[in-house]
Structure 1
Amino acid sequence: MNFSGTSVIITGAGKGIGRATALMLAERGADVVALSRTQSDLDSLHSEAGCRGIAVDLADTAAARAVMREAGPCDHLVNCAGTNVLESVLDMTEEGYEAVMGINLRAALVCAQEFAKARIAAGGGGAIANVTSIAGHRGFPDHVCYAASKAGLEGATRVMAKELGPHGIRVNALAPTVTMTELAAAAWSDPSKSDPMLMRHPSGRFAEVEDVARAICLLLSADAGFVSGAVLPVDGGFLAV
């Protein structure tokens, strides 16, 4: 999968899955526009892989729209920015809800909207990959807002595929299992919680960020040129059993 001559916007590119995806796409020839809140992460991406970095807090809707316009009409978009606040349904707070839904769902929709407008103005074509989670398919304690945000993004992915397909824009989602990022380490650090979860994976392990990055590359590539509106589990078989 060679991405030479193409450009890709990646949200949440500073760390975790987003960073691995930025490095992988840059290695495969893409011009990467990396979006992150942390300037030092963007600086290291630029020095390591030549990525163009733009610092932005995507929780600010106006800032999200502005940065997408600044990034320009790129060929592809990866909505990877995500956060979590561990709260049960009984302990859910308005602050936790707004923090999670604002980044995981609203920001993704805003970025997709601005990307699609730019692509259509440029003649259409391109692809969007939305990173969701198996939490949108299975119920995990203390993940009520996170699960709602990811399930919502999968529903929106199908609508976007329907509405943007006539413009040649493909839209798909990936649902990773527990992936070894800083966010996951905080959520799954307790062996009493992680060990039973690990046992439910036929692969016998959790995902690495490169596992998800490779799947993102697949869905953006011409090899998946007739795939749209799909949700691809990247879970080592977790949802199959």
Structure 2
Amino acid sequence: MQLNFNGLRALVTGAGKGIGRDTVKALCKSGARVVAVSRTNEDLVSLSKECPGLEPMCVDLGDWEATEQALGSVGPVDLLVNNAAVALQQPFLEISKEVFDRSFNVNLRSVLQVSQIVARGMISQGVPGSIVNISSIAGLVSLPHLAVYCSTKGAMTMLTKVMALELGPHKIRVNSVNPTLVLTAMGQSVFENPEIAQRMKERHPQQKLAAEVQDVVNSILFLLSDCSASTTGSSILVDCGYLVS
């Protein structure tokens, strides 16, 4: 997909690896100035070498105060991709407070906080904007040992809709992309659960083990761009047909 983001500034969370990293590279290639947020400085250093002009920002988005301090003066942002997430596996009866809190802090609370910061800036500047939340089919279906992860992504579906409703009058669109498992480092860790891996193999009509990262990135770019100017409060499934069966 060839899109032009010249003159626009984008912020991508979870930018160090996987979907976030490839999204940063695609946005830079398409002319955007990108703020890349990751909790791993080494990833930001290597990414900066691939994308000259990148604005790296190292912060753990699970920490509310640190996030406020890091992003509070980020400046004007036109495009936001909330991608940062953790997928911590535990059987339901063994779920710990630590896993619950960490998952909701990173996967959901940070989306709220970062989006508030960015949207307030858009509104004060009087400019339109586009926000894309990276959700998952795990917000729509149940997966074993991922009760907390599924819950965070299910909540993100409603958060996306309410954000779209309240921010729409300010010409800010909010949508989500809901992939099936993707063979990133995080996706690979989920595939180590044989029950989940078998379910994925059986349910994908395309007979793919997982979605390609680039397929997810293409959907993100579409929702960020004016090509989707009339789309808000919606979700794009990149699920290899998982939900049709």
Q: Same fold (TM over 0.5)?
A: yes
Task: Kindly provide the CA deviation profile for residues 39-91 of structure 1, in whole angstroms up to 9, marking residues without a partner as x.
Answer: 11111111101221010010111121222223212101000000021012211
Q: 2:222 corresponds to which residue?
A: 218
For residues 193 and 97 of structure 1, what CA distance do their matches in structure 2 show?
20
Residue aligning to 2:23: 21
Partners of 2:124 and 2:211 in 1: how far apart? Answer: 37
Aligned to 1:207: 211
% same residue: 39
Q: Secondary structure at the residue paired with 1:71?
A: coil
Counterpart residue number, 1:7: 9
Return the offset for 1:104: 0.1
Aligned to 2:45: 43
Query: Taking structure 1 as reference, are residues 219 and 152 closer, same or farther at Cα in structure 2, changes over 3 Å only?
Result: same
Q: Does 1:63 align with 2:66?
A: yes
Aligned-pair distance for 1:193?
A: 3.7
* 8 Å Cα contact 2:144/2:196 also seen in 1: no
Q: Name the CA shift for 1:152/1:41 in 2 (closer, same or farther; >3 Å).
A: same
When the two structures are superposed, what TM-score results if normalisation uses the length of structure 1? Answer: 0.97
1:151-230 equivalence runs, <5 A: 151-191=154-194, 193-205=196-208, 206-230=210-234
Residue 231 of structure 1 aligns with an amino acid whose one-letter code is S
* Counterpart AA for 2:76: P
Cα contact 2:143–2:196 (8 A) shared by 1: no
Instruction: Provide the aligned length of Structure 1 versus Structure 2.
Output: 241
Query: Which residue identity is paired with 2:148?
Result: C
The separation in 1 between residues aligned to 2:194 and 2:86, in whole angstroms, is 22
Which has the higher mean CA deviation after the structures are superposed, 200-209 or 16-25? 200-209
Distance 1:13 1:203 in 2: 29
Structure 1 unaligned spans of 5+: none
Residue pair 1:9, 1:71 contacting (<8 A) in 2 also = no
The partner residue of 1:121 within 121, 124, 131 is 124
Give 2:94's aligned residue: 91
Match of 1:33 in 2: 35
1:190 Cα shift? Answer: 4.6
CA deviation string 1:147-200 (max 9, x = no partner): 110111110000000000000000001111001111111111255541331221
TM-score by length of 2: 0.95
User: Which SS does the other structure have where 2:163 is aligned?
Assistant: helix
Asked if the contact 1:77/1:128 (under 8 Å) is kept, the reply is: yes
1-structure distance, mates of 2:71, 2:201: 38
Unaligned runs of 5+ in 2: none
Deviation at 1:240, TM superposition (A): 2.1
- Structure 1 residue identity aligned to 2:189: A
Give the aligned residue type for 1:227.
Answer: T
Runs of 4+ in 1 over 3 A off after TM superposition: 190-193
Match of 1:73 in 2: 76
Per the alignment, do residues 138 and 192 of structure 1 end up closer, same or farther by CA in structure 2, a change over 3 Å counting?
closer
* One-letter code aligned to 1:4: N
Match of 2:238 in 1: 234
How far apart, in 1, do the equivalents of 2:111 and 2:130 lie?
Answer: 14
- RMSD between aligned alpha carbons? 1.1
- Please give the per-residue CA displacement for 1:105-162, whole angstroms capped at 9, x wherever unaligned: 0011100111111110010311000001101111000111101101111100000000
Q: CA deviation at 1:209?
A: 1.5
Query: Given residue 161 of structure 1, which amino acid in structure 2 is its aligned partner?
Result: A
Q: Flag the 1:196–1:147 CA change in 2: closer, same or farther, 3 A.
A: closer
**Structure 1 residues 176 and 12, CA gap change in structure 2 (3 angstroms):** same
SS in 1 for 2:127: coil
